[in-house]
Amino acid sequence: MPPRLAVLASVLGAGALLLAGCANPSTGSATDDPTKPVTLKFWHGWSEKNEVKAIDASIARFEKLHPNIKVKTTGNVTDATLNQALRAGGDDAPDVASSFTTNNVGQYCSSGMWADLDPFMKKTGLDKHKVFPKTLLDYTSYDGDQCALPLLADAYGMYYNKDAFKEAGISRPPRTMSELKRDAVKLTKRAKSGGYERVGFMPNFRLYQNSPDRLFAQWGPTYFDKDGKARLAKGSAAKDFFATTRDLVKSQGGYGPLEKFRTSFGDEMSSQNAFLTGKLAMHMDGEWRGLFMKGAKFKWGTAPLPVPDDQPETYGRGYLTGTVIGIGHSSKHQNAAWELVKFLTADTDQVVSFANAIHNVPSTKAALTSPKLDPDPTFRAFLDIAQNRYSTALPASINGGQYVVSLQDFSYGVEEGKEPDLNKGLRELDKEIDADNLQAQN
């Protein structure tokens, strides 16, 4: 699933609901008999026709295995709507819920609105450490509370125009940031008007999926110390990251011209996407982009994003995120709900079938190595990224993605040249993040 364009707004909206008085959510029951007839309510965010068809097929497979359990699905549900219903509780609230917003897991768990899944796993013999990759477990838990499980994942890598590479005499995708700069310059084509026909690699943070945290993952950053304090100003990762993006921008003509070119691009999910139309020679995106490349008029490939020059051993890494699923704390059918969650997340054939259907990365160790997975090599590059031991996900926070929003706002200022003293700016950013976290705790 492509992360929705309104994810950050959803983060803040859901956060406001969570922090506005849901410390004591309605309590459901985990004493129900999952072999008895029951109807479960499952809310999810998928809305595209092919995605809805895939989730409906998944539910049909589950109901065939569990004929006593019927599932009523509701799609296209935002986090704000979901959390409002869970806060209110009652018979209208969902028994099972999924979300595209991994940044909100810290709130789901700490608020108590999503039930702790560890007792259900223990009761049914599911060893989460054997089933799920560690990084995916990390972004579905908070402070020791496993209130969610991964339901497919997304991995970020590089799409590149093979024809443009051949034309520029480049034999393979760049593996280090210095190679990325070199190749980006070679691949950039200026127009006679002074603008651009094509940009090698545009790092501008307002471009499509270019939220700064995604490219920043290539540095393996540590956002918080062991005491939960922001530490972006410490160490060299953030400074090197911004120095690299500034250098990429400068070497290809500067922020103003690049930003002007960016505003001419078509919609991300349309046939006028800038990479699809040849306006970008290299582009950061997720595994789902391959589904939108069928009309490309050039040969294209995929590869991991480059890594810092002083970390060549980490090449192959990438940013990971994905869909999460959990049980509403107010559900009176939590054991039956667990049967659905367990099937959707841990049944290998189901996970593989669902992943193939919507072109997402499988979220279990067994499914990632299944011979039944889509054999397309452009897709398998993302499977390798998902399994790379250096790949990272954002850490959970009590106020969800607020620190990501703060980083994004700061990054806009950096690329626009409004942060002349980067060290000072990063220290102020850390203070802002710490103050927001403290406010959420009180």
* Structural domains present in the chain: 7-154+321-387 (3.40.190.10), 156-314 (3.40.190.10)
For 90-111, the pLDDT digits (tens) are 888 999 999 998 988 988 998 8
Banded model confidence at residue 21, pLDDT cuts 50, 70, 90: very low
The yes-or-no verdict on residue 19 having pLDDT over 50 is no
Mean pLDDT of the chain: 92
**Is the separation of the CB atoms in 363 and 351 below 8 Å?**
yes
Instruction: HSE, CB side, 13 Å, CA atoms: give it for residue 50.
Output: 12
Confidence at residue 405, expressed as pLDDT on a 0 to 100 scale: 95
Q: List Cβ<8 Å contacts ≥24 apart for 229-236.
A: 229/430, 229/434, 230/403, 230/429, 230/430, 230/431, 230/433, 230/434, 230/437, 231/430, 232/407, 232/426, 232/429, 232/430, 232/433, 233/423, 233/426, 233/427, 233/429, 233/430
The yes-or-no verdict on residue 398 having pLDDT over 90 is no
Tokens read off for 346: 């841990």
**Is the separation of the CB atoms in 77 and 45 below 8 Å?**
yes
Least confident of 107-111, 260-264, 280-284: 107-111
The yes-or-no verdict on residue 4 having pLDDT over 60 is no
- Return the higher-pLDDT residue of 430 and 111: 430
Rounded Cα distance between 323 and 406, Å, is 23
Rounded average pLDDT over 436-440: 89
The yes-or-no verdict on residue 414 having pLDDT over 60 is yes
Helix, coil or strand: residue 239: helix
The yes-or-no verdict on residue 17 having pLDDT over 50 is no
Rounded average pLDDT over 305-317: 98
The yes-or-no verdict on residue 23 having pLDDT over 60 is no
Banded model confidence at residue 83, pLDDT cuts 50, 70, 90: confident
Rounded Cα distance between 347 and 364, Å, is 9
The yes-or-no verdict on residue 6 having pLDDT over 80 is no
Banded model confidence at residue 176, pLDDT cuts 50, 70, 90: very high
Least confident of 52-61, 175-184, 394-403: 394-403
DSSP state letter for 314? G
Banded model confidence at residue 25, pLDDT cuts 50, 70, 90: low
CA distances from residue 251 to 97, 122, 311, 411 in whole angstroms, order as listed: 46, 55, 22, 19
The yes-or-no verdict on residue 5 having pLDDT over 70 is no
Tell whether pTM > 0.85: yes
Alpha helices, DSSP H, located in 141-290: 162-168, 177-187, 212-216, 237-251, 255-262
